[in-house]
A and B are shown apart, each in its own frame.
Chain A
Amino acid sequence: MTAAPDAPRDQQDRREQEHREDRDRRVPAAREEAAPASGAAPASGVAPAAPASSPPAETRIERLVGHGFRLVTGRAMAPYQTAVVRIGFAATWLLFLLREWPHRAELYGPDSPFSLDMARQLLDGNHAFSVLPWSDGRGWFEVVYLLAVVSAALLMLGWRTRTMSVLFMLGVLSLQNRSILIGDGGDNIIHLMSMYLVLTRCGQVWSLDARRARRAAERGEGAGRDLPGVVLWAVLGLALAVAQLFGCSGLSWFGHGPFPYVGWGLALWLLWAAHGLRWVVDRRAPGEPRIVLDVLGAVLHNGALLVIMAQVCLVYATAGWLKIQGSRWQDGTAVYYPMHLDYFSPWPELSVLLGTSGLLVLLITYGTVIVQVAFPFTVFNRRLKNVLLVVMVCEHLSIAFLLGLPFFSLAMVAADLVFLPTPFLTWIGGRISELRARRTGRGGPAEPSAAEEGERAPAGT
């Protein structure tokens, strides 16, 4: 652990950032060359010169673009935050699936009042992706549900994270799109994040992949053969080919996919090919091809990370700005009402208790609106953001209990986690490693701290 756990976190955060900027300054050539806007500058690739002495002075904008370019190509940012979002969403979905295990056939399977034929009618209209309509059999449904459970568990643990993130997404989309009328806001955010997570390198730390890579590095080995990974890749490729050969619905090449002109068939083959390419390059072509793949992966990761953060802000912004316009949120009684709805009052005694104080209800009502409206703007102020983060996590935990919405709240908390400060996360990681080492009572050095893990984990996970 590099940072003392007791030091103020914000200070640490800033120190880390300065450190980073320091290092940036040490590679001026990269800044110069990397900037697409400075293309007019003479190619100085042969002899990297100091930036100050280069003849055509960089404008501010060019410098800014160059800085941005280096930032997004430099590394997959926020390894801890993406890892904790991965763990949070995988755990939420896993717990939800396990809780609904007795009801699984009624929610998504053959016992659903929304029959598969009805689901097909809707899916034919909206072209949402689901593998469940591929077969009417109960066996197929059970296999898909089980795969959703297993992929969520393995994604949480970070075992073959890249592959599992894709299977996790397919599980989420297949179940939710088959029974579109059974979900709530929690399912909605899991749906979105399951797709975004596929494009992030969310297994760089706190994953079995990272541990495997670390141990291989300790033994002085490079990337090994990774038999399970290869088998998984081959089996999934085969499965996708077979599904397409049998003309299963939803696997078109162009259209009705996750992005305009990209069908689900094409998207899945692209992901599959990228995994394969990465494996080959890691083993056969270290050097430039691997660096290029690393950079491309980092660029995708950083794009998806930005989308995740913006998405969380959008959720709060919409909820907050709409509330401002509501008369109940204005007169300070809004919080009173949901607690008196049949579907959201598992603890009527508590609702009555809370309903006795008009002042308390007013404070919670106004506080909710203030926090939700303010949050998107506070992400630019570390300290304020952290305070609001704590408030929001607490509010969601109380919603979980008071309104009987545990999975919705867990999902929202998991989304909030993307904004946690790195020192806090590494500190938590360190504590957990320490605890585990003490628990197992192993001799020798404890598990390397989370901070080290981050430095040494491979980029390909």
Chain B
Amino acid sequence: MQSIGDESRPVAALSLPSRIVICMAVSAVAVAVAVHLAMMFLHIAPENTLTKAQGSAISEYVYPEYEQNWKLFAPNPMQQNVAVQVRAELRTGDGGLRTTGWTDLTARDSRAIHHNPVPSHTEQNQLRRAWEYFGSTHNAQNVPIGVRGELSEQYIRRITVRRMEPEWSRLGRLERLQVRSVTTPVAPPHWSSEKISDKPAFRVLPWWPVTTADLPEGTESK
């Protein structure tokens, strides 16, 4: 029985075809490893001469399965809390329109995370990353950039509806909803002499009509 501890495996004693196969395999693996590591390095390296010239080849290799991002707390950690808040326009039973107050979805997430040693991705990542995605697929005027921008709007709407519909449906039928973000800087530590404005910054999106595509699957339109 061939054992793994046996280091004196006689590659040299093998027949010529076997040795050729092994040599070819070693070369192929060496090339593959070199290419792979080079691509990984260039993918996460800052933009440089090589990545500017070969950017498309690198992305072609890396995306989608080898994508990586290790910038969670670098170059600087996030220094502000972004709260996503929503409100709705509801058609009430008597035919009137009613606008709800703002509900802070992020605050609800924080409450779920509070004193929870194993927060769920639904609480920690869903809304946070959806809002990041919205930011990266929209310009400063909140105009979507391409198809992905529209996709991200639908995603935000669907998260909102999924979370708020039980409360809103008691008050009326959901017609439109509005989303805004409130960005508050984290106060610098008390030993720091730094002064920063603690005024929250608002990003208010336009009212969005709610369509059946925004409702959870299997929900009959009312």
Interface residues of A (CB under 8 A from B): 20, 23-24, 26-27, 29-30, 32-34, 36, 45, 48, 69-70, 72-76, 79, 99-100, 103, 106-107, 110-111, 113-115, 118, 121-122, 125-129, 173, 177, 181-185, 188-189, 191-192, 195, 204, 217, 222, 258-260, 288, 290-292, 294-296, 299-300, 302-303, 306-307, 310-311, 314-315, 318-319, 322-323, 325-329, 333-338, 340-343, 345-348, 355-356, 358, 361, 401, 404-407, 454-459
**Inter-chain contact A355/B189, CB cutoff 8 Å:** yes
* Cβ 8 A contact of B73, one of A24, A26, A323, A333: A323
Asked if A182 contacts B126 (CB within 8 A), the reply is: yes
Produce 1/0 per residue, B53-68, CB < 8 A to A. Answer: 0000000110111111
18 A-B pairs, CB-CB below 8 angstroms?
Answer: A72-B29, A73-B22, A103-B122, A106-B122, A106-B162, A113-B130, A181-B126, A185-B70, A288-B15, A310-B37, A314-B44, A323-B74, A327-B76, A340-B186, A404-B117, A457-B3, A458-B3, A458-B4
Q: Are A183 and B121 touching (Cβ within 8 A)?
A: yes
Contacts of B148 in A (CB 8 A): 122
Whether A334 and B8, one on each chain, are in contact in the complex, defined by CB atoms closer than 8 angstroms, is no
- Considering only residues 61-118 of chain B, those with a C-beta below 8 Å from chain A are 61, 63-79, 81, 83, 106-107, 109-110, 113-118
Contact (Cβ within 8 A) A337 B40: no
Residues in A neighbouring B211, C-beta threshold 8 A: none
Assess A75 versus B70: contact at CB under 8 Å? Given A122-B151, A127-B64.
no
Point out the residue from B63, B129, B158 that lies within 8 Å of A126, measured CB to CB.
Answer: B63
Residues of A within 8 A of B60 (CB): 260
Closest to A256 in B: B64
Q: Does B26 have its Cβ within 8 Å of any Cβ on chain A?
A: yes
Closest B-chain residue to A126, C-beta based?
B64
B11, A107: Cβ atoms closer than 8 Å: no
Let me know if B33 and A338 touch, CB within 8 A.
no
Q: Are A185 and B33 in contact (CB-based, < 8 A)?
A: no
A375 → chain B closest CB, angstroms = 13
Q: What residues on A are CB-neighbors of B106 within 8 Å?
A: 342-343
User: In the bound complex, what is the Cα–Cα distance between A455 and B190 (angstroms)?
Assistant: 59
Closest to A72 in B: B26
How far is B10's CA from A122's CA once the two chains are assembled, in angstroms?
50
A449 nearest CB across to chain B (Å):
14
Expressed in whole angstroms, the Cα–Cα distance for A318 and B23 within the complex equals 34
Say yes or no: B65 contacts A191, CB within 8 Å. Answer: yes
Question: Which of B10, B69, B159 counts the most chain A CB atoms within 10 A?
Answer: B10
Contact for B189 among A34, A129, A323, A333, CB less than 8 A:
A333
Query: What A residues does B140 contact at CB under 8 A?
Result: none
Are A204 and B32 in contact (CB-based, < 8 A)? no
Contacts of A314 in B (CB 8 A): 40-41, 44
Closest chain-A Cβ to B54's Cβ sits at a distance in Å of: 14
A177 engages B25 (CB within 8 Å): no
Knowing A328-B79, A346-B114 are in contact, say whether A184-B3 is a contact too (CB < 8 A): no
Q: B12 to A290, Cβ gap below 8 A?
A: no
Q: Which of B15, B70, B122 has the most CB atoms of chain A within a 10 A radius of its CB?
A: B70
Instruction: Report Cα–Cα, A69/B60, bound state, in Å.
Output: 31
Residues of the B chain whose Cβ atoms lie less than 8 Å from the Cβ of A343: 106, 109-110, 113, 124, 128
Q: Which residues of B contact A204 (CB under 8 A)?
A: 4
With a CB–CB cut-off of 8 A, which chain A residues contact B1?
217, 222, 458
Contact A326 B74 (CB under 8 A): yes
Instruction: Tell me which of A188, A343, A457 has the highest count of chain B C-beta atoms within 10 A of its own C-beta.
Output: A343
**Cβ of B147 < 8 Å from any Cβ of A?**
yes
Beta-carbon contact of B125 and A121 below 8 Å:
no
Q: How far is the CB of A351 from chain B (nearest CB, A)?
A: 11
Q: How far is the CB of A249 from chain B (nearest CB, A)?
A: 14
Contact of A110 among B37, B159, B217 (CB under 8 A): B217
Complex contacts, A177 vs chain B, CB 8 Å: 64
Which 4 pairs show the lowest CB-CB distances between chains A and B? A33-B12, A326-B75, A322-B74, A128-B64
Do the beta carbons of A45 and B11 come within 8 Å of each other? no
Given contacts A23-B7, A185-B70, contact A341 B81 (CB under 8 A): yes
Contact in complex: B12, A406 (CB < 8 Å): no
Q: Please state if B117 and A75 are interface contacts (CB–CB under 8 Å).
A: no
Q: Contacts A75-B6, A192-B68, A307-B33; is A299 near B25 (CB within 8 Å)?
A: yes
Q: Which residues 23-41 of B have a CB within 8 angstroms of A?
A: 23, 25-26, 29-30, 32-33, 36-37, 40-41
Query: Are A291 and B3 in contact (CB-based, < 8 A)?
Result: no
User: For B14, B130, B218, which residue has the most chain A Cβ atoms within 10 angstroms?
Assistant: B14
Residues of the B chain whose Cβ atoms lie less than 8 Å from the Cβ of A173? 65
A99–B11 CB distance below 8 A: no
Q: Known interface pairs A32-B12, A74-B9, A303-B33. Does A358 touch B189 (Cβ–Cβ under 8 Å)? A: yes
Bound: A280/B195 CA distance, A = 73
From A121, A290, A358, give the contact of B191 (CB < 8 A): A358
List chain A residues, Cβ under 8 A from B186: 337, 340-341
Given that A126-B64, A458-B1, A459-B4 are known contacts, is A334 also in contact with B76, CB under 8 Å in the complex?
Answer: yes
Contact of B69 among A188, A259, A302 (CB under 8 A): A188
Instruction: Give Cα distance in the complex from A459 to B70, angstroms.
Output: 35
A110-B217, A118-B151, A303-B29 as given contacts; A73 in contact with B121, CB under 8 Å: no
Q: How far is the CB of B110 from chain A (nearest CB, A)?
A: 4
Which of the residues B21, B63, B65, B120 comes within 8 Å of A100, measured between beta carbons? B120
**Chain B contacts of A315 at CB under 8 A?**
68, 70
Chain A residues within an 8 Å CB radius of B15: 288
Residue B50 is within 8 A (CB to CB) of chain A in the complex = no
**A295 with B33: CB separation less than 8 A:** no
Residues of A with C-beta under 8 A to B36: 307
Q: Whose C-beta in chain B lies nearest to the C-beta of A290?
A: B2
Inter-subunit contact A121/B2 (CB<8 Å) = no
Extra contacts besides A300-B29, A361-B189 (10): CB < 8 Å: A72-B29, A75-B9, A184-B124, A291-B10, A299-B22, A322-B71, A337-B186, A340-B187, A455-B4, A457-B4
- Report whether A185 and B72 are in contact in the complex, using a CB–CB cutoff of 8 Å: yes
Q: Are A75 and B30 in contact (CB under 8 A)?
A: no
